[in-house]
Copies of this chain bind each other. A is one copy, B any other.
Amino acid sequence: MNKKNLPKKERQQELQNLLENDPFLTDEELADIFDVSIQTIRLDRLELKIPELRERIKSVAQKNYSKVRALSAREIVGELVDLELGKRAISILETTDDMTFEKTKIIKGEYIFAFANSLAIAVIDANVALTGVANIKYKYPVVAGQKLVAKAEVTRVRGNKHFVFVRVFHKEKEVFRGKFILVSLDGEVSS
């Protein structure tokens, strides 16, 4: 369906549908889709009582934090927007200036590592866990202000070892990937 030049009523209906499917569309992206100004999208959201993106992310994340077992919710770097425990998880990180190298303004590797590593720990179905091994690759530099999406998938569980594959994207581009082997300590450490 062509979404450009819709009458206001139909545009607002369509906007509501789009955000139900993907609550993480930005106002800029919506403006592009409908070929209207960002201001128009903001007014549409206001009339429809749809909160801004940041609030939508928080509200979705809130539901997921309660499911996490292997670490405390506030220890997860970024916002946890999807979680199927023991299977897969998605989190979002808005990168900021204070995460960058002074010389290059590129995000330091340790922040992307912490983002991916904490998601890997969050996704596994264990009471407590530690990282044992990680093989990671930084594919493209990330600069401050870019929004990153991390997708984790549990690929195998063998005994107390959980194999998790995490990919980090900026828009469609994969900027980082890592294979983690996590060791659950259930039974060894009282929680």
Contacts and interface: CB of A to CB of B under 8 A. Distances in A.
A138 B132 contact: yes
Contact of A110 (B110, B128, B132): B110
Interface stretch (A22-30, A100-108, A147-155, A163-171): A100-108
Contacts of A137: 132-133
B110 A71 contact: no
A72 interface: yes
A114 interface: yes
Given A137-B132, A138-B130, A101 B113 contact: no
A141 B188 CA distance: 13
A2 interface: no
Interface in A57-80: 71-72, 75, 77
B110 A114 contact: yes
A134 interface: yes
Interface string A90-133: 00000000000111101011100110011000000000101111
Closest 4 interchain pairs by CB? A110-B114, A109-B131, A72-B102, A135-B135
6 contacts: A71-B101, A72-B101, A75-B108, A104-B130, A104-B189, A109-B130
